[in-house]
Every structure is written in structure tokens, then in C-alpha cells.
Structure 1
């Protein structure tokens, strides 16, 4: 926080400046808030369970805040919080004590548990008051509520949002109505009273000695204009039974799978196809890149999520050229909102359907290929081949606007994202000396994605009797030759691939985690992969809790920068997976250990990102990180998958088993992984020897 800034937990900060009369709005902080989620609904509160009218606290539904305050009082006072625990997807228990009641002894004798449950269309709480006192206890319990219908972009910008006046009350009920819908609050056996700026539910509770009472209330959101809804049915992936000597892995995986279950979404007009919302609170909607990566990471648990994600994005594939939205024929979209997403302080105005991403299209192609290899039904793959061909059309044309043979981006709208790779903050692409690159920009990892997508597309075209396979294999080889000629630069520790090429085709010579995304794509030779693996394992990059986004030796490095020195769980997992696939077991194990240590420090709910500080003994939070977040949660699956090393090729009839050499994470086993329709069990013993059972009939096994 800036010197002289003021803040309250989870609240809006106002930075002091040289002019005491001036102030700027700051994005509210998240790191000290507790999220309870069942998409498209989420609640963010303090660790005590209170939702205060500050910052980003509130009950949200599909990009809009429904309740901006939910404060529970006992006799007009706040209970004293002891702690909270997540009890599964969409459920959190907050525990507090009421020490001014009960026996006059040191031990608290009146306890209050607040069990919060989020459903797809609202929130309910069960308030349990338990007395172990030897005397009767009489209390007045109130819950003060307020509603502001604030759009998520107003909340994100730290902007003001006035509480709405209730439209009515009666019989334990309060309600608010606007063009955004209706919010109804109902207290079972409570009295309800409207008041300026909100309303109150109230209960009178009398407990006999050692007595107990349960109070219930709920908030229901009616939002007919929402474009995302909760999908029906159970999750589209298996829940494997995982055993590991390192209990951190099983704990991280267990919490992550619950978080992933809570992030499932579908489109309102096509509820049969499920995808994962990117993260709470800012991105609980369809994000092309994020949803694709999360689905790809979950392929060892089944292809259902990948199939739904592929179909949703194919339906919204670009059909025209539109500078305002970034749309182009064949292009896969970036994000979907109910209306324009505007942050005036950043000169950012994104249309409801925004296509400003350079990497989602090649990643979509690779997800289709990988899902096919994991056993996605052939008919479902075939139905997406026309979308594949359209995506290849974009890759052959609009992806390379200046015709230099590299995939590059530039925001021609002047109000979209300045950077359009996964590191999309405005200052993410920096030279070693700290200066920022100017667009058009060709990112290093995107060239790897394009190379891999071209080769994967060629395999799919051949398999499904479509022309063009040879063309795309030639495209890939020509891209590799150009890449080798233009991207490699010399640094203090020898040659490495630059972060990008700028508008003048100069290599952007910062050492970043982006180059780790090349591992496993096939773009690098064996010698080049070894160079990259060694550099990423060095002390300036591998920080002990994961992989820094930028080397600590670069001038632009800051451990609390969004993309220039922080650590992202998904980024670390992607690089770890590439290292494991290419046989760099020791380096992969080091990153896996970092993720497990970070998971333990964050209560096994990995945030979107955290600080890249070293030597502090535990990771520091990045204060505005989403949590839970889809690809961070999916990183736990990637850690388990890398340890086990199961790589199927269902169309080819083969399975490769290549666990991390020497079992650096100790013995690991998983029962209930999925290859096609088959439930597969894999185990790696303490010596690193793998075994597998349950493979689909006729599949040959190769052990590396």
C-alpha cells in the first residue's frame, strides 16, 4: 500500500498524493476476503462472515452485485470471530463466540456458527446458536442487509454505488426491484423492517441452560437477463481416488476439485454445454483462454468438460472483421459479458462479446486435438472439424496482419486490451532494461502454440479425411525456422528465446516464464529445450513457491507486479507439465514442490497469483487476485498427472506411461482417471516404477 493510504479490510483504498485534495480510485483488495461460490453466484465476506458495505464485499450474481451488506449482530454487537472452514463447493462455516452472554467464566459458553450455502440463484444461511452455559440466555439477533445492483466493472474500479431503497417489506421479507431483476430476502420466523438504504431481519431467541437454536434466512436473485447460468447435472469429470505420501497433494487436489465444481457454467441459451468460469469475482464468465486451459488440464479426468468448452466457443467463433470487438472470421473469443465492460480509469471499453486475444484460437485447436487423443467420441470431434477449418483460416490470414510469418496482435480500437496474450496487463511486455515494447507484438509462447496447433490440425485433418494436412505441416516447419532465426537472443547466462518481437521486429530480451510454454509444443530442439529448462530452474526464475513471471535480474521485475515478477499457479503448472513431458524430471519436481508449498500456505485454495518475493518463508498474497480461480485450481490436477505420467493416444491405440523419474513426490496412485469411457488406475511406487490397469481394450502400453 502507498504511504499515507487508508483502507479497511477488503475495502476501497484512497491513495494519498502531493495534493491532499486529490485522490484516485483503486481496485478493491481481495486477499483478506473469503469467497463462497456456486456459479453464477458468489459471496465475498470478511473472515468473520460479515459482508460489509465496502470494497468488493457482497453477494454477486452473473456480473452484478445483489447484496452489498449482510451484517449479523447479537444485541447490537458483532460476535467475536474464531475462524472459518470451507465445507465443500458453495458452503462455508464461520465460527464465532458471544462472550457477553452465558456463564461468567473465562471459557466462552455461547457459540454462534454461521453456515453459508450458495446456490445457483442466491444464498442461504443457517445460524446455529449453542449454549453450554448453566443459565438461560436471551438474545436479539439481527441481520442488516442492503442491495445496490452494482455492475462488476463499477465494483472493480472502486467506483461508488449507492444502496437502493427496498421496494417493500412484510412477513419476514424484504425485496428490491430494478431493470436488472429482483432480489428477495426472507427470514424464517423473523420480523422484517425496511429502512433508508436497506432493511433488517430480527429474531428474539431464548435458550434454556445448555440450549440450542437454529435461525434460517435466504436471498433469492431473479435475473432474467443473465447470459450465464448454472449447468444441470453432476460435474463432467471423474473424482479420482488419489493417494500420495505427500499429503499436501491430496489436500490440494480435494479442495481444487470442489472449487472447480463451484465454477461450472453454461450459456443461458445453450445450457447443455458446460465450461468453467475463469475466477471470482472479476471473471466469473466465459473466458476463451482461461476456459480452454482449465479444460485441457482436466483431460485426465474425462473429455466432457473439454467437449462442452469447445462447442460453446465454436458457436461464438468470429464471422466478420470488427475492429471495435477484435472479431475476425474463425477467431475464438476472449470474454463474454452481459453488456459493455468499461473501466474509464484505464480507457478500457470492451464490448459484451470481445475477441481481443491472440492465443485462444491456436489453444482451441490443441484442446480439440488433445481431447481426441484422450478419447473424446469421434462423432463429437467430427462435428467440430468445420470450426477447426475456420480457425485455421484465421491462423493463415488475420493472425499475421503484416505478413512476416509470426502471429501478432495490435489493438486497433484504441480502447481494448493493449496486450492480448495471457499476460494482458498494459506493462506486461518489457525489455531487459525495463522499457515497454510497442505493438504490433509477436509473443514467444504464441509462436509455440501456433506451431503445435498447425501440427495437431494436420493430424485431425488427415484422420477425418479433410484436405490440408501437408500444408499445415509445412507451415509449422517454416515457422520453426523463422523462430529459430529471429527469437533467440544472448543473455547473461547464454542464449534464450526472447519474450516477443516488437513493432520494429526487435527481440524483447527479458527472461520470462513465457518461454516455458514452448516446452512440449515441439517447436524447440532437444538442445534448445535443455537450455530453456536450465534457465527456468535458475534462482532468478524458480522462486521456491513456483515460477516467477519475469527474472529478478530484469529491470522491470517487481514481485508484486501483475505479470512482471509475480507467480501464477497455472503458469507454473503449464511449464511443469512441459518439463515433465520432455523428461526434465528434476526441474518439473522443483516447480511441483513450489505449488504444493504455496497450496499449503493458502489453505489449499490456490489464488490466481501471488507475490514473487523470495526468502520470506511463505508466499505473500497478491492483493487483488481472484480466488477461487479455474486454472489455478486445475493446476492441482496437472501436478498429479505429471507425477503419474499417463499420456494416451486413443486414435493411435497406444498409451505412454512416463512418470517423473525417481518419484520425487513419493509414491502416488490414482483410481478413476478416464481414457475415453474407461476408468483407469495408475500408481507409481517409491522407486518410480509405474503400473496401470483398466486400459481400453486393444490399447498397447509403452513405458518410458
Structure 2
């Protein structure tokens, strides 16, 4: 992590591995001056190129004659520095790298409390840092430095370089870690060599935004792919870089669900990885409960949370729904069957533990004193509040979680019936009772009409903020047609549609903050989920507006959508403002590009039933398009949509019919 000049100075900047910061400072200078930054580009997700120029005081040429190129790679061979002399005279250059190491944990860096720099020790090829408790790190160069100075908290490596006209000189830096982070068995391992667990779709469209977003997103997702150390064949997506580069229940499940049109292998690996860590006992310290799907997995405990933490209310129903969705997209039946016991345990958790006070809703209240206060996807302390900015008191029943639970119960019933297991009728009835209770308790009204409150608080009162959570209900089945129309109208209103995506909370709310983490910002995945629900329920205009806005936002971020961006009102010739500490890339933000593509195509398969629904978005903001490489089971299909919104599929599996 570094700014665009490539220098690593302070804050969260640094070289990281396995949630530890190996290098906390790396500042380059030439003849005592920092080069003048010219450009910075991502070659791909694992490599960045920084270009700068060096000007000597006696250089009378207005053009820069010495260039400094840094090519930085995520790996042991961490950086290649090239000095080039484009002038007509020989130059003498002293390249200096000032460096430091603190071996801070990622959570310490994020909280603004990094450790002190370790004492440095010089060696013939570079410098090393050693801590009896934390391990060792070595930074070396080829060629070896001419001089090394090491002291209490920093070190300097110097190379004396003489360049003739048109001559280049290259330095290769290597970073070796024998730190505690590197030596301990990793929580997650790097993926083994081999093909990615998804196809590479080819998109032909007059609007280039969609193809560019997909190209960048799939490259980023490949770089965030991790493997389960218990079975390296099972791969999943880390939640996001830099803060969440590990397994997260909710994030990894949503990202895998969005990626289903490109194959079911990622979903299968994600489900098996989570099933191995499914809750089995009662433990208030970790908030584990039998059948519960975990929230976060780390190498070691942070200041507040244990390494394996279960404080999430939504990952468990999302697990069941992803399994059912993957089955409909063509996941092999033997793989589905092997995961059914885990799905049954997840459903049992819904029955036994998800409703702590017996009011009939799925709700949370933290079991651990310093656990997460809010345990839905809006998990910041102020993420659930009223229109008057009053924070909700637990236990809290989130609106979207009731939709997730309804969808999981229906999907679970479908799986149980199809695979000859008992319980399908019970879960269908359970879902319908939940829908009735939801209809009675969650609907509120303001000057613009009825809408769904964000939550019920501990007193069973609606928390009446107008929030994006209601968009997650569309497509779950918990709303009827008239209710879907009311939600669509509210999401399309100017207080929610920023022009660059869906705001997390209405701009009319007292607590609205366009740069609030969950109180007015725009999250790419949140917008994509709303777009999918709007498209699935026939609200094409509202879906198209949000989709078009998110594509425009992507163009403002070089098509690498951040975790979230500011929810300011869109202005002509402006671009969205970044959120300061946003993950970029982030798995469900990158996977949102695939979700938008699916919404445009209107593709909803049910291969076990032998049918595929094709209903392209009639108000498509990208016009006609053709997409090849969509995966339906073992078949690769091509979907084309003309300018009038009429779609066709080529290459369908045998005995599969198209419904339009």
C-alpha cells in the first residue's frame, strides 16, 4: 500500500503479508532529493508501476533527463528500480532507500496504534530486523548496496550509480520474512497453481464501461482468491484489501453468489470452507452456536475479537441460499448432497437460536462484551438508527435479515424435498408465518408514503430510517407485488439514488452523512443487490438508473470499484469522492460487476427443473450486448440481447427450456 508517488512513509502504507506489516517505511531519494512523481499505474492486480523524474540543479535542459521507474510486485521479489539517463552527459547518482520495519498487526495499523519500529541490523546485501517475539524480516538488494547505515528505528541503503548517456541501471529488491506471521500455520493459504474457478466471459457491447469494469474486477478477484489450508482445492474470495484479506462468512458468501453465472466451483469451495468451521458448541467468548456460520477468521486475536468469531446474524441463512442457488445454476448433485447436512444444521440454528426472545423474528444481541454491537452487514456502531438519529437498542431484528431467513427457509425446503429429506413442509410454513409477522411489524409511513423500516429495536418498535436495507428484500419472496412496487419507488427517489449508486441511508435523515460508513455512503455491492432485486421484480427503470450510476462511478475509479464511496449528490462534470479508508479492491464490490451483467441479461436458471428464465432489462443503459462464457452447469452458453431488450441463448444444456 502506498500513495501514487510510490513512497512508503506513514499511516497505513507498507508491505504486508498474512496481516503483518513487514516494511513500514521505504522512501527513495536520488542525490538527496525525492524524485518528482509523474505517473502511477496498475499493470494488473499484483503489480504497480511508478514513474518519476530526477532533476539536478545544474541540469539546464527543460526536459527531464533522469527517470526513476519502480515496478512493485506482491511477492518476495517485491520491487525493481530502474534509473535511466536520457541526457547527453554522464551522470553520478546516489540512490538512497530509507527503510524501517515494525511488524505491526493489521488491526493495530487500522486503529492508528502501530508498534514502534524494530532496531535494524546491517548485512552485506541489505538490512534485517529481528524480534524474539515477532520473528525476523530481511530486505536485500541485487546488486548489493555500497553503504548500509542501521540504527535504532530506521536504516538507509545507498547505491552509487554512474550512467553514461542512454544507459540504464536496475536494482532488484527482495523481501524475506521469517516472522511469527509467516512461520505460523496460516489461516488461509495461497491458491495452488491452476485455472481460476470461474470462466472468463467475453462481452460485446457498444458501451465500453461494462466490459472494462468486468476486466478489472475479474483481475482483482483472481488476486483475492485464497484456499482452505484443510483442503487446498477449496478456494474462496477474501473479503477485501487491505483490512479484510481473509475469510468472512457474509462477504465471501455474497461474492460467491454474485459469481455464479461464471461457474459454481467458487461457490462450492466457499461453502465447504465455511462448513468445516460451522458452529458446533455454545461459546459466548466467540459467539459460536451449533449450526451457526462464522463471521471472521484471523491468524490471531485482535484487541477486541478472537481469531475465529461468529458474531454475524446473516451468514447462516445466506449459506443455505447460496447452496440452493448454486444447485439451480448447475452445481453437481453429489456436491450439493454432501453439503446438505451443513444446510440442515444452519436451518436448525434458525429454529433454535436465531430468535433469542421468542418474538418470531431473526435478531441479534452480542454475547461477547466487546463483540460487534451490530451484526448485520451494516456493522458499525451507528449503522442502525432512526430518522431522528437515535441508535437502535438490542436485540435488533434487521429488515433484510428477515428476507434472508424467508428465502433460506424456502430454498432449504426445496433442497430437502428434492433430495428426499424430511422437513420441507415445516420450513415452507415457517417462512409464510415469518412473512406475515414481517408485514405487520416492519411497514411504516412518512410524507412520501409507506416503506420498510430498517429494523425493529429491543422494544419491538420500528427503527424508521429510510435505508438501503429494504432493497435486499426484493427477490427474496417475502414481499408481494404491491410491496415490491412501494420499495422500488422509495429506492428510486432522489434522497436514495445519489446518481452514483444507492445511498445506504436517506439524505433526508437527520443522521445522514455522505461519508458515513453506513449512514449515507454508497456501497457497490449494496447497489448491485438492489439492482438485481429491482430487475427480478420487473422494476426496470429504477434498476437501470442505479445500474447506470454505478457504472459511471466505476469510471471515476478507473473501474476498480472501492468498498464504498461518498453518497454526495451527483453534479455535472464531477466524479464520486472516495471514502478515506475504503478497501480497494474488495470482493463483493468487484463481484458487483458480474451481478450487474446478470441483471442486464435477466438470467435466472433452474437447471434441476429443466428451465432458464431470460428476461433482459428493458430499460438497459448499455444497449445491445452479447456475452459468451456464461456457465450453466457444464455448458458454456452465449446470451445476446438486442437494442429492444429481446434476448436469445445459444448452447443450452439438453432438455432445458427457455422461459421469457
Q: Which residue of 2 aligns with 1:700?
A: 657
Superposed, 1:532-547 pairs within 5 Å as 532-547=487-502
Shift of 1:691: 2.0
* Secondary structure at the counterpart of residue 229 of structure 1: coil
* Match of residue 649, structure 1, among 606, 611, 615: 606
Shift of 1:268: 3.2
Superposed, 1:172-211 pairs within 5 Å as 172=126, 174=128, 176-191=130-145, 193-196=148-151, 197-211=153-167
Aligned partners of 1:62 and 1:404: how far apart in 2?
42
Shift of 1:465: 1.2
Aligned partners of 1:193 and 1:499: how far apart in 2?
59
Superposed, 1:496-645 pairs within 5 Å as 496-616=451-571, 617-645=574-602
Q: Which residue of 2 aligns with 1:290?
A: 251
Q: Which residue of 2 aligns with 1:131?
A: 85
Distance verdict in 2 for CA 1:101–1:132, change over 3 Å:
farther
Q: Which residue of 1 aligns with 2:615?
A: 658
Shift of 1:123: 4.8
Structure 2: where are the runs of 5+ without partners? none
* Match of residue 71, structure 2, among 112, 115, 120: 115
Q: Which residue of 2 aligns with 1:324?
A: 285
Q: Which residue of 2 aligns with 1:393?
A: 348
* Secondary structure at the counterpart of residue 579 of structure 1: helix
Residues 639, 649 of structure 2: 8 Å contact kept: yes
Q: Which residue of 1 aligns with 2:115?
A: 161
Aligned partners of 2:189 and 2:99: how far apart in 1?
25
* Secondary structure at the counterpart of residue 350 of structure 1: coil
Residues 172, 189 of structure 1: 8 Å contact kept: no
Q: Which residue of 2 aligns with 1:312?
A: 273
Query: Deviations along 1:563-591, whole A, 9 cap, x unmatched?
Result: 11111111001101111111111111111
Aligned partners of 1:373 and 1:506: how far apart in 2?
38
Residue 252 (structure 1) aligned with residue 252 (structure 2):
no
Query: Deviations along 1:350-374, whole A, 9 cap, x unmatched?
Result: 1111000000000011111111111
* Match of residue 227, structure 1, among 183, 187, 192: 187
Superposed, 1:447-466 pairs within 5 Å as 447-466=402-421
* Secondary structure at the counterpart of residue 330 of structure 2: coil
Q: Which residue of 1 aligns with 2:359?
A: 404
Shift of 1:446: 0.1
Spell out structure 1 runs of 4+ moving beyond 6 A: none
Q: Which residue of 1 aligns with 2:392?
A: 437
Residues 548, 621 of structure 2: 8 Å contact kept: no
Residue 473 (structure 1) aligned with residue 428 (structure 2):
yes
Residues 451, 479 of structure 1: 8 Å contact kept: yes
Shift of 1:166: 2.9
Aligned partners of 1:173 and 1:438: how far apart in 2?
53
* Secondary structure at the counterpart of residue 44 of structure 2: coil
Residues 440, 503 of structure 1: 8 Å contact kept: yes
Q: Which residue of 2 aligns with 1:3?
A: none
Residues 313, 333 of structure 1: 8 Å contact kept: yes
* Secondary structure at the counterpart of residue 220 of structure 1: strand
Q: Which residue of 2 aligns with 1:104?
A: 60
Shift of 1:167: 4.8
* Secondary structure at the counterpart of residue 120 of structure 2: coil
* Secondary structure at the counterpart of residue 148 of structure 1: coil
Superposed, 1:22-37 pairs within 5 Å as none
Distance verdict in 2 for CA 1:307–1:178, change over 3 Å:
farther
Aligned partners of 1:61 and 1:181: how far apart in 2?
13
Number of equivalenced pairs = 651
Shift of 1:93: 0.5
Residue 424 (structure 1) aligned with residue 379 (structure 2):
yes
TM-score relative to the length of structure 2: 0.96
Residues 400, 470 of structure 2: 8 Å contact kept: yes
Aligned partners of 1:126 and 1:677: how far apart in 2?
42
Query: Deviations along 1:228-282, whole A, 9 cap, x unmatched?
Result: 2211123211111112211111111111111111111123343221111111111
Distance verdict in 2 for CA 1:180–1:685, change over 3 Å:
farther
Aligned partners of 2:122 and 2:170: how far apart in 1?
26
Superposed, 1:237-276 pairs within 5 Å as 237-276=198-237
Residues 399, 455 of structure 2: 8 Å contact kept: yes
Aligned partners of 2:341 and 2:631: how far apart in 1?
27
Distance verdict in 2 for CA 1:182–1:446, change over 3 Å:
same
Aligned partners of 1:476 and 1:554: how far apart in 2?
32
Residues 121, 150 of structure 2: 8 Å contact kept: no
Aligned partners of 2:579 and 2:156: how far apart in 1?
35
Residue 335 (structure 1) aligned with residue 296 (structure 2):
yes
TM-score relative to the length of structure 1: 0.90
Residues 102, 109 of structure 1: 8 Å contact kept: no
Aligned partners of 1:448 and 1:611: how far apart in 2?
27
Shift of 1:168: 5.2
Shift of 1:509: 1.0
Distance verdict in 2 for CA 1:311–1:181, change over 3 Å:
farther
Aligned partners of 1:674 and 1:173: how far apart in 2?
50
Shift of 1:202: 2.9
Aligned partners of 1:478 and 1:208: how far apart in 2?
81
Q: Which residue of 2 aligns with 1:691?
A: 648
Q: Which residue of 2 aligns with 1:40?
A: none
Which stretch has the larger CA shift, 636-645 or 457-466? 636-645
Q: Which residue of 2 aligns with 1:58?
A: 14
Shift of 1:101: 7.8
Query: Deviations along 1:600-626, whole A, 9 cap, x unmatched?
Result: 111211111111111443211111111
Distance verdict in 2 for CA 1:397–1:47, change over 3 Å:
same
Q: Which residue of 2 aligns with 1:10?
A: none
Aligned partners of 1:352 and 1:382: how far apart in 2?
30
Residue 489 (structure 1) aligned with residue 450 (structure 2):
no
Which stretch has the larger CA shift, 413-422 or 216-225? 216-225
Aligned partners of 1:204 and 1:585: how far apart in 2?
64
Query: Deviations along 1:435-478, whole A, 9 cap, x unmatched?
Result: 11100000000000000000000011111111001110001111
Distance verdict in 2 for CA 1:475–1:445, change over 3 Å:
same
Residues 238, 247 of structure 2: 8 Å contact kept: yes
Residue 142 (structure 1) aligned with residue 96 (structure 2):
yes
Residue 350 (structure 1) aligned with residue 311 (structure 2):
no
